[in-house]
Amino acid sequence: MRAPGARARLQKSQTILQTGEVLPGLADARFREGQEKSIRHIVEGRGRLLVVQKTGWGKSFVYFIATKLLREMGSGPALLISPLLALMRNQIAAAERMGVRAVTINSDNQDEWASVEAAIQRNEVDILLISPERLANERFRTEVLAHVAGRIVLLVIDEAHCISDWGHDFRPHYRLLERIVRTLPANLRLLATTATANNRVMDDLRTVLGPNLDISRGDLNRPSLTLQTMRLPSQAKRLAWLAAQVAALPGHGIIYTLTVRDAVQVADWLKSRGLNVESYTGETGDLRPELEQALLENRVKALVATTALGMGFDKPDLAFVIHYQTPGSVVAYYQQVGRAGRALDAAYGVLLSGEEETDITDYFIESAFPTRAEVSDVLEALQAAPTGLSVPELMARVNLSKGRIEKTIALLSLESPAPIAKQGTKWQLTAANLSDAFWQRAERLTELRRHEQRQMQEYVSLTTGHMEFLIRALDGAPGTIRVPALPALPVTVDAALVREAIAFLRRTSLPLEPRRQWPGGGMPQYRLTGRIAEGLRAQPGKALCIWGDAGWGSLVRQGKYRDRRFSDELVEGCVRLVRAWKPEPAPAWMTCIPSLRHPDLVPGFAKRLAAALNLPFHAVLEKTDNRPEQKTMANSTQQARNIDGSLVIGAHTLPTGPVLLVDDMVDSRWTLTVAAWLLRSRGSGEVLPLALALTGHEK
């Protein structure tokens, strides 16, 4: 390709922008500083390029215009690696506005795969968007990528900081890019883009993408943002603050939470206060595009979101981004708060700090890598099974949660050489041993995460200089920082509103769905396998709260481990729950799950609750022997085996009628499932489970 021809194409592209052919309705559009230079770099094949520019600069313009020009010159399609489905949707919409034919193959559009693959084969696709996980999919590599690999003219790695910051834990498949890049032809164009890359991240990217990586780095300052931090330790105070301030703030925005549970809870609270908000998480599913569009069109005041809504979400007039808890790193925070004020003179970026956030970020740090014991357990189990084991089979052999097993095998399988490999549905050992470099990397990155966690706590403590702090933390030059244009928001909360928030937290109840199937391999001592007969299973039940959560959760924790007695407040809370629940059929009597370790804790609570509900209490269930506590069993299969044979009916005859079955903590639901089966087998009426708390996750 000759450079003069490329320059002519670039001049044409600027004319297209000016006349609005690429972006209808924006006839006065111009290249931002650095955009045209980056496009020239790519099209003229000057080498690999990393573009580090703040959100809103127009990084997608660079690769879409470059793709369009290369396609006009007769080149093949581009391949774009993108980390999030929400980001892909925005990228495809942006490509269409510029006349670039963009398609995606991802887990959410399987019904479109055949038509997308056919379009790729017909050379009707300009750019294909995939997630890094798709690169590990054998079918995709052999049936799609192999057919176009020789024609791909440009590889784009969007949100390239993920290679460094996520590639070793949250998104381990980003590590595949390192191997792919090593095998690329020298003349294949490569563009990596990100809004957040400090010197450490850029050093990592040089290692992965090549030492001759050219870097185009822009100004990190966001003069439109008025940044503010405040410590409001209790969830009730933060809920009260949000209810008062979000209602008063002009415009529309995003409220970020660290967990799915918090996103749902905050959204429910704000809805109860009359605010038009919705939760947006990785579990929102098919509603995500609709919710994104609702915020884009100002049909909702705000989305209460996890990081599922983040990179690439493009609403230039977002008036505020509020964090309900402190994220784990400056890179994450700058990325998220940077969604606000891109096309506004002034916008708020407010970070609220709560007492639970350190526990949450500690969990993320500590669970990022498997422990040596976890790796040893998995490898030993595979060594004992030469034909391999599936994940469910591993769950039956090692006392690890499904998530921990999947994390361990994912990270081990991505090592080079890998000590394990997948054959069909089963994992097997290879001849390779796990390198010490695996553990060195885990230790280095864990310490890095700890440093980032401490750095964010420093940020929370600031009263001024927030933007300067962020820029320095990202290894940028602060320069002249404009005084924030908006007044600081109040840091106090109304006491009456706090009381209402506490009442809200205490009036929530959660469903307890009955199990319908015995575990794989059955319950040998009870001689139970397969489906649980409908007449022998529990009815849908209720739990008062999530373990340790604000509201009731903290009282449950206090009663179990400090007071050794559940408070009368919890009795009253359960009375209100049962009366609001109005189970059908109504219970005629009550019993509870026994314990040899704490023989009076749950029975004492159940007797007081029975008296308050005017129900007779009968202790008909007995423990046969002292098993390990269920909380020490890390997955559902292990918990099922731990309860197998451990419960019996001690009474000769049972009271008639439906029974309210009470327990304190519920995790996998196997204890309630076995108890209900025993009660129904002995002729009881319907079994209605009631628990004080859920642990918050299935294992």
**Structure confidence at residue 18 (pLDDT):** 46
**Structure confidence at residue 131 (pLDDT):** 82
Instruction: Evaluate whether the domain defined by 507-694 bears CATH number 1.10.510.
Output: no
Helix-, strand-, coil-residue percentages of the chain, each rounded to 5: 45, 15, 40
DSSP H helices, 301-414, are: 330-337, 357-366, 372-383, 391-397, 402-413
**Structure confidence at residue 254 (pLDDT):** 97
Distance in angstroms (rounded) separating the CA atoms of residues 339 and 253: 9
From 3.40.47.10, 3.40.50.300, 3.40.50.970, 3.30.70.1380, which CATH number describes the 221-494 domain?
3.40.50.300
Q: In terms of Cα–Cα distance, which of 166, 163, 188 is closest to 178?
A: 163
Q: What is the pLDDT of residues 17-71, one digit of tens each?
A: 444 444 444 455 678 888 999 999 999 999 899 999 887 788 888 999 999 999 9
What backbone phi and psi angles, to 5 degrees, belong to 444? -65, -45
Distance in angstroms (rounded) separating the CA atoms of residues 499 and 502: 5
Q: In terms of Cα–Cα distance, which of 343, 300, 292 is closest to 319?
A: 343
**Residue indicated by tokens 């006839």:** 27
Rg over alpha carbons for the chain, rounded to the nearest Å, is 28
**Structure confidence at residue 282 (pLDDT):** 85
| Joined tokens for residue 656 | 């008639």
| Joined tokens for residue 485 | 């244009």
C-alpha 507 chain-centroid distance = 26
**Structure confidence at residue 550 (pLDDT):** 74
The CATH T-level fold of domain 3-217 is Rossmann fold (3.40.50)
**Structure confidence at residue 11 (pLDDT):** 58
- In the beta sheet, which residues pair with residue 576? none
**Structure confidence at residue 312 (pLDDT):** 62
Q: What is the pLDDT of residues 83-127, one digit of tens each?
A: 766 677 778 888 888 889 998 887 777 788 888 888 888 999 999
E strands, 120-270, are 127-130, 154-157, 189-194, 214-217, 225-231, 253-256
**Structure confidence at residue 572 (pLDDT):** 95
Coil, strand, or helix at residue 191?
Answer: strand
Distance in angstroms (rounded) separating the CA atoms of residues 513 and 538: 8
- In the beta sheet, which residues pair with residue 661? 591, 689
Q: Write out residues in the chain with pLDDT < 50, as ranges.
A: 1-3, 13-14, 16-26, 167-169, 697-699
SS (HEC) of 572-621: HHHHHHHHHHCCCCCCCEEEECCCCCCCCHHHHHHHHHHHHCCCCECCCE
**Same topology for domains 3-217 and 221-494, yes or no?**
yes
Q: Where are the domains of the chain?
A: 3-217, 221-494, 507-694
**Structure confidence at residue 168 (pLDDT):** 47
**Structure confidence at residue 197 (pLDDT):** 76
**Structure confidence at residue 225 (pLDDT):** 94
What's this model's pTM, rounded to 2 decimal places?
A: 0.82
Coil, strand, or helix at residue 75?
Answer: coil
Q: In terms of Cα–Cα distance, which of 229, 465, 197, 464 is closest to 335?
A: 197
Strands 189-194 and 225-231: unpaired
Distance in angstroms (rounded) separating the CA atoms of residues 317 and 27: 20
Q: In terms of Cα–Cα distance, which of 518, 402, 460 is closest to 229?
A: 460
